[in-house]
Amino acid sequence: MDIEIKVPDIGIDKVEVIEILVKINDFVSKEQTLIVVEGEKASMEIPSPYSGRIKEIKVRVSDFVKTNSVIFLIDTLSDNVILNKSSLDHINTESDHDNHKKIQNNITVHASPLIRRLARSLNIDLNNIIGTGRKNRIIKYDLDNYLTKNHSNLFNTSSNFIKKDNFIKKNDFSRFGQVEEVSLNKIKKFSGESIFQNWANIPHVTQFDQVDITELELFRKKYNSEKSGDFKNKLTILPFIIKVICKGLKKFPYFNSSISWDNKIIFLKKYFNIGIAVDTLDGLLVPVIKDVNNKSVLEIFKEILEKSQKARDGKLSILDMQGGCFTISNLGGIGGSFFSPIINGSEAAILGVSRASYQPFWNGEKFIPKLMLPLSLSYDHRIIDGADGARFISFINQNLFDIRLLLM
């Protein structure tokens, strides 16, 4: 008996189909999820009200549907058939091996739209995972556990996540206009793969704050005005930030750590090496300033100039870019307010620095100008929780606000 399956009353005028979970001739059980739809604020699963065989699919991904829209035609076989192992034995020749095996064993994938979307982004087949949630529902812990067990296979190459055949070959951009093809250089290829794997591997949290550096800027300008020399060698804010970060790493040791690939061991480092992201014509490079705990602000500044120039000249050695504990990405000279920097794989956190700007501050009687520096702190949530992330950036805030605290 053929029956239409319609969109139930979901309380929204129209929703977009973002995933179709069954194929024509698939056998489904009652309450098994058929499609996932998404509205303005949430995603939801639409289950089958019947057991039977999918005879026709009336929608496609990206279609918009509304209440009572017909989405499937299902053959219920008879009025009161409930699909189970015994009733499937005589129709197994009509289904493919995988679907038949799934229904025979009474296995149905239960997962929220969020988990399904996350699994799609990681190219994980949920059929390979046994859920530990209520009624075998797949939860985020199950995805994390699966990724840990299959780490070497999943993160060996980005092709495991992006199906290039589906994206590049099927998207002929020249259909829409003139296209110029530019090959990625070696630096961008390497950094791109590294950034991709870091983003896929590390659960990022980014904490934002603004720091009052009015007094620090006055000190910096006074110091530079009293020193002669080329303008390019005028002292900048960055070496002060590096010294403050070093002090923060001593106070919050988990920010100066790395985690093992199986998420079982945290390596607390007793050395203090800070990487600085340098924008070059060939791409992003990150030279490392070693042993900043034993160097003065001026010594650090001198080394920043030297290694930044080596980066731009293409003369950095591999050793120059190894051994970092923490990275600073400084976009203050370019612009912008806040951004979410991506953590280096062997580190626990990274600080993004944007352009400072004067903002009005109410002192109780009147507004006065304050030079505010935007900071964006990304950290590995496996190692660092939100409370410590807030404490760390507050500590950085306090020490940059009053640079004299570096002497304490």
Supply φ then ψ for residue 214, to 5 degrees. Answer: -55, -50
Is the pLDDT score of 251 beyond 50? yes
| CA 388 – CA 252 distance, rounded (Å) | 8
- For 193, residues 6+ apart whose C-beta sits below 8 A from its C-beta are 157, 158
Both tokens of residue 395? 């500590």
Highest mean pLDDT pick, 119-123, 199-203, 205-209, 224-228: 205-209
d(CA 37, CA 102): 24
Q: Domains in the chain and their CATH numbers?
A: 2-108 (2.40.50.100), 202-407 (3.30.559.10)
Predicted local confidence at residue 158, as pLDDT: 43
Of residues 63, 6, 74, the one with CA closest to residue 37 = 63
User: Considering only CA atoms, which of 374, 344, 352, 376 is closest in space to residue 256?
Assistant: 344
- pTM, whole model, 2 decimals? 0.59
The number of C-alpha atoms within 13 Å of 66 and in the hemisphere containing its C-beta is 3
Q: What is the C-alpha to C-alpha distance for residues 23 and 55, in angstroms, rounded to an integer?
A: 9
Closest CA to 374 of 208, 177, 202: 208
Work out the average pLDDT over 220-242. 82
Angle CA 50–52–55, to nearest 5: 110
Which stretch of DSSP H or E encloses residue 367?
strand 367-380
Average pLDDT over residues 314-336: 88
Q: Is 90 a catalytic residue?
A: no
For residue 85, is pLDDT > 50?
A: no
Q: What does 199-215 look like in DSSP terms, one character per residue?
A: HHHS-EEEEEEEEE-HH
pLDDT digits (tens, 9 = 90+) for 327-379: 999 998 887 889 999 999 889 999 999 999 999 999 899 999 999 999 999 99
Most confident range, picked from 26-40, 226-240, 260-274 = 260-274
Would the pLDDT of 93 be above 60? no
Average pLDDT over residues 249-278: 94
pLDDT of residue 131 exceeding 60: yes
- For residues 386 and 379, the answer to whether their CB atoms sit within 8 Å is no
User: Which is more confident, 291 or 104?
Assistant: 291
Which pLDDT does position 2 carry in this prediction? 87
Cα-Cα-Cα-Cα dihedral sign, residues 59, 64, 70, 76: positive
Catalytic residue, candidates 90, 97, 151, 381: 381
Does residue 163 carry a pLDDT above 80?
A: no
